[in-house]
Structure 1
Amino acid sequence: MNNKLLYVFGLLILLASCNQENNQMRLAENAKDAKKKKVIFENIQKGWDFYDEPINEATEETIKTWNELRLFMQELHQKPKKTIGAFQQKSDAIAKKAIALSNNIPEMFNKPQIKSRIQVLITKVRLMDMYIHLDNIPDKKVVQLVGEVNKELATLQRQIDILTEKSKIPVEEGEDEMRRMLLDSARAIPNTPMMPNPSVLPAGTRAIINPNDARVE
């Protein structure tokens, strides 16, 4: 009887020891995970530096009429502070504002070169949003994409500046009228095939004459 009690008592001590050891391992893993997340958060917080101000006067003026671009820049300006979850929410909001850039593009900028720059910018933002929502966040990749978003945004703004400057170039007097005259002349030319000259036809070849054509006496 005593032996059975000793056996049960020893087994309980062993189980308690195992549980304590497991708890210590779990606490150590939690501490390690918390430290890793802290490092990731600090790296992303440090690298989360968007160019949230217009780089030229053309973009500054464009923002006043291009609502989607203005909202996108405002979203970049608001930097999260406390948790990685806040950065994830902000990234999601930036992605939505970026996608909206392809809607309601002002007529002056509704050009292939602007549309292509917007699509590249959207791609970079969505990649950043995807990486920051992974369970194991690659913080270096997220920071790298922040830089790439800045690069594409600057390229877009420079393209806006180019189109704005082109729109300011005055059209020379009479240029529009000349273009219209050339266009009207081109439309007025009848699409009538030329008749072959009998004098240059090969020997033995007769020209086919349309009886409906006017003859010169």
Structure 2
Amino acid sequence: MKYRIFLFLLFAFLLNSCQNEDEKRLAENKKEAKRKELIFNNINKGWVFYDTPINTVSEENAKSWNEWRQFLAELGEKPKKTIGAFQKKSSAIAKRATALNDNIPAQFNQPQIKSRISILITKIKMMDLYIHLDKIPDQKVIFLIGDINKELVSLERQMDKIVEKNKIPLEEGESELMKMIKDTARAIPDVSVNPNIPRVE
């Protein structure tokens, strides 16, 4: 009899502890779901990229420079519904940004443009990294989106500066000077004066 009572009490205790575990698990799941929903809402609000050109030079580039056009188009498509959609879009944007280095138009194939593209790629890859973490730091993602927009504006303004600079006509002899700077064989040789050689004055 004592044995049956002991088994009954043990069974009741196990049943009660299982129910407590289930309740804890459900509470944790609800808490996690609320946290994920909050992160999704924050990222959804902050996911605003400057996908339209800010000047005519950038607009012209979108017509002729295929990688630039595809990159801006990728920025313009906002994902919906899930964090997974934002993660996929972030990876797609990173891929398009990396492709910007492949076919830079000749007039923009300069260190100023290349460095700005590199910075832009770095910021986008950081955003992609953060959004793929298990616990997404949504504030960092939103901050990086703002930084990416600043880098986009900087890149487009630099393109505009290069085009404006190329419109300025060269002065007389400037083109020859530029050729001499690039071609060191044509430059005036550096003849140092030897103090031991007699000079005619």
TM-score (norm 2): 0.88
CA distance in 1, matches of 2:19, 2:137: 33
**Aligned residue in 2 for 1:197:** 198
Decide whether aligned partners of structure 1 residues 197 and 85 sit closer, same or farther in structure 2, where only a CA change above 3 A counts.
same
State the Cα distance separating 1:169 from its structure 2 match: 2.1
Decide whether aligned partners of structure 1 residues 67 and 14 sit closer, same or farther in structure 2, where only a CA change above 3 A counts.
same
**Aligned residue in 1 for 2:15:** 16
- SS of equivalent residue, structure 1 residue 33: helix
Decide whether aligned partners of structure 1 residues 11 and 65 sit closer, same or farther in structure 2, where only a CA change above 3 A counts.
same
State the number of aligned residues.
198
State the Cα distance separating 1:166 from its structure 2 match: 1.4
State the Cα distance separating 1:189 from its structure 2 match: 6.9
**Aligned residue in 2 for 1:166:** 165
State the Cα distance separating 1:167 from its structure 2 match: 1.8
- Written as runs of structure 1 = structure 2, the 5 A alignment for 1:173-184 is 176=175
- Written as runs of structure 1 = structure 2, the 5 A alignment for 1:139-158 is 139-158=138-157
State the Cα distance separating 1:197 from its structure 2 match: 2.9
CA distance in 2, matches of 1:154, 1:31: 41
- Written as runs of structure 1 = structure 2, the 5 A alignment for 1:1-217 is 2-172=1-171, 176=175, 187=186, 196-197=197-198
Decide whether aligned partners of structure 1 residues 187 and 7 sit closer, same or farther in structure 2, where only a CA change above 3 A counts.
closer
CA distance in 2, matches of 1:94, 1:162: 26
- Computed over aligned residues only, the root mean square deviation of the Cα atoms, in angstroms, reads 2.8
CA distance in 2, matches of 1:198, 1:77: 73
Kindly provide the amino acid, as one letter, of the partner of residue 148 in structure 2: V
TM-score (norm 1): 0.82
Decide whether aligned partners of structure 1 residues 136 and 189 sit closer, same or farther in structure 2, where only a CA change above 3 A counts.
closer
CA distance in 2, matches of 1:173, 1:74: 44
Unaligned runs of 5+ in 1: 201-217
Decide whether aligned partners of structure 1 residues 108 and 25 sit closer, same or farther in structure 2, where only a CA change above 3 A counts.
same
State the Cα distance separating 1:199 from its structure 2 match: 7.1
1:130-187 Cα deviation digits (max 9, x unpaired):
0000000000000000000000010000000001111222335775468779x99x94
Kindly provide the amino acid, as one letter, of the partner of residue 61 in structure 2: T
- Percent identical residues: 56
CA distance in 2, matches of 1:101, 1:142: 22
CA distance in 2, matches of 1:149, 1:188: 43
Which is higher, the Rg of structure 1 or of structure 2?
Answer: 1
CA distance in 1, matches of 2:187, 2:108: 34
